[in-house]
Structure 1
Amino acid sequence: MTTNNKTYKIILSGGGTGGHIYPAVAIANELKSRFPNAEFLFVGAKNRMEMDKVPQAGYKIIGLWISGIQRELTLKNLSFPFKLMSSLWKSRKIIANFKPDVVIGTGGFASGPLLQVATSQGIPSLIQEQNSYPGITNKLLAKKAHKICVAYDGLERFFPKDKIIKTGNPVREDLLHITKKRDEAFEKFSIEKDKKTILVLGGSLGARRINELIEKELDFLLTHNIQVIWQCGKLYYDKYKIYNHTKNIQVHAFINNMACVYAAADIIISRAGAISVSELCIVGKPVIFIPSPNVAEDHQAKNAQAIVDEDAAILITENDLEVDFQNKFTQLIISPEKQQFLGENIKKLAMVDATSHIADVVELLLNKSNK
């Protein structure tokens, strides 16, 4: 890693979900450590969670009036052309005023217009594609982007091969040291050391089908002498908080200290968003993936399948939960050997230096643009 005092200007664009926001923040933090005098600007979508999370991380953000196209026929789609034109116009204004040396897109609604304008003006640009199956926005942007950092093999099916660099996905640095946090985690979450801890994750907003499953299976789960830490999401907390009165069950709308809760967990039930998958590889605990079917190109199922193909996780589709969950969970909870096998295999897939590698690629673009 190099450190110098050049006053680069760097735009990072992405958002809509934590899976797009946290990688962007991780990349910004790494670049800031290398270029302390650099100026950073985030561009996100108005009224999305990045408008709160990015300032909390210490960075300035500007919001665009943009949202995705709904896959169902809906009146909301009628406003999309106007939102796109507005966002392209505002992106031109942002770039003209800020004059970035490089633009980085991590996915989400806002990254499309911003990177489209940047690449059309020849500004060095980098796409950080998190999934094993990219969305249409990044496929279109890839034609003009200078470099594309990916986390999975085989993406030359979608992107120019000479632009692809396999780096992995950026994750929170504190996840690299969770083994040291186990005792702290027991105390923080007030859990018993002689019980297995099941961590249930459905994303920052929550996952309706996973929440319904856990509610239905609570009695079954508790027969296995376990305790459950259940992040149900802020959209569902009011409905499920009543289970905080049940022994060995705790319900959270959102968990800020993910390193600590990962340290507490023995088995994890999770969606299969790209960043979640990358984090769980680093965590190295046995995982049951329940991918969301309500995503573009069914990319969560593809993300999870890539891990299952390495004998490193269990996958249950939403359609199969009724017939498979109890059986597959029981097989896992009664077998310490299987738990160890899956935990060791998923950890082998971790790419712990992803953030640093992506920053290296950004440095190359900066050096070329300033020659």
Structure 2
Amino acid sequence: MNYKKYIISGGGTGGHIYPAIAIAEELKHRQPDAEFLFVGAKGKMEMTKVPEAGFKIIGLWISGIQRKLNFSNLIFPIKLLSSLLKSRKVIKSFQPDVVIGTGGFASGPLLKMANIMGLPTLIQEQNSYAGITNKWLAKDAKSICVAYENMDKFFPKEKIVFSGNPVRKDLIDTKKYRTEALQHFELDPDKQTLLIVGGSLGSQRINELIAEHLPFFESKNIQVLWQCGKIYFEKYKSLNSKNVKVLEFINKMNLGYSVADIIISRAGAGAVSELSLVGKPVIFIPSPNVAEDHQTKNAKSIADKNAAIMITETELEEKFKNQFETLVEDKELQKKMSEQILKLAKPNATQTIVDEIEKLGKQ
């Protein structure tokens, strides 16, 4: 057998899923005969997003530990044992050369079992504050690819590769999609476009902010392309109009980015990496409801370099309108922010990670 076989696991949110898909696509590009199997968590979004990208996926009965004591926490040890046993069965059957984890519930038991079975594993950490799953797996991983500096406070220094976060190829040079995007979203080419992305699942606070400021955007002659998220779509779809496009999810994000003049976004690691590549003026509104407040750390690392604006949820009432208005009206500021954020981009991140995976496959 000359071709390689890879198991890839990452999920729960787009921030774990899309890096996993980007890695698989680059491996497939280099090795057209390679075989791939994804492992996700049953009921999570990877179970639909991965097949949509053209890859097979198997689901484990696993979930995270909740902050409050509840029934889900009580049965967590049973779920973990079940997932470890199923992972062993999957690995024995598929016989991968390398096992790759990009974070999320399912990657924990899968990579732990791969390590027990003596297979080489690589983990990819997207955030500036390492996730609990990757910290658990770091001791036995052969290689750890990271997107931020100073990650040796979480991981063994000798295993760290400073790669950046993998992103989809179609997000590099999005300008070429602008004409297609204007038609796709039915937007006016003569108006500035504000793109809102509150994360793959949507954001209640950002959605409230946008709904409240629609008349303000209208007064500034700004059209709005608004990804509100699946659970909020029913609430906000009535606000759809000629100048406000309310969407549950933007599947062709390359089109969304290409048509945007200004972007409002959460500050998940995937979003930060994508937006650095896209090079548009960004206002980050980090979610406060994540482990160790890592989105604020992600956003601050960009804002401190004058490459974006960061406004916390508690500051929105006080700061948003003035800062947004300044940004819209100051074209020079827009240009400077675009230039600064582009300097932080790592367009070769996926290739660097796949180089590491291929090294492990040869050992």
TM-score by length of 2: 0.98
- Equivalent residues in 2 for 1:1-371, closer than 5 Å: 6-245=2-241, 247-368=242-363
How many pairs are equivalent? 363
Does the 8 A contact of 1:148 with 1:164 survive in 2?
yes
Does the 8 A contact of 2:125 with 2:131 survive in 1?
no
> Aligned-residue CA RMSD in angstroms?
1.1
1-structure distance, mates of 2:68, 2:284 = 26
2-structure distance, mates of 1:20, 1:331 = 34
Q: Please identify, of 322-331 and 73-82, the stretch whose mean Cα deviation from structure 2 is larger.
A: 73-82
- Structure 1 segments (4+ residues) deviating >4 Å: none
Q: What amino acid maps onto 1:190 in structure 2?
A: E
Cα deviation digits, residues 321-371 of structure 1 (max 9, x gap): 111111111111110011111111001111001111111000111111xxx
2-structure distance, mates of 1:56, 1:6 = 28
Does the 8 A contact of 1:6 with 1:38 survive in 2?
no
Q: What amino acid maps onto 2:125 in structure 1?
A: E
CA shift at 1:266, angstroms? 0.2
Does the 8 A contact of 1:135 with 1:297 survive in 2?
no
CA shift at 1:311, angstroms? 1.0
2-structure distance, mates of 1:343, 1:55 = 34
2-structure distance, mates of 1:185, 1:63 = 34
The gaps in structure 2 that reach 5 residues or longer are none
Aligned-partner SS, 1:73 = coil
Does the 8 A contact of 2:128 with 2:297 survive in 1?
yes
Q: Please identify, of 179-188 and 253-262, the stretch whose mean Cα deviation from structure 2 is larger.
A: 179-188
CA shift at 1:42, angstroms? 0.6
1-structure distance, mates of 2:186, 2:321 = 27
Cα deviation digits, residues 169-203 of structure 1 (max 9, x gap): 11110111211112222222221222110001112
Aligned-partner SS, 1:236 = helix
CA shift at 1:204, angstroms? 2.1
Identity of aligned residues (%): 63
TM-score by length of 1: 0.96
Aligned-partner SS, 1:109 = coil
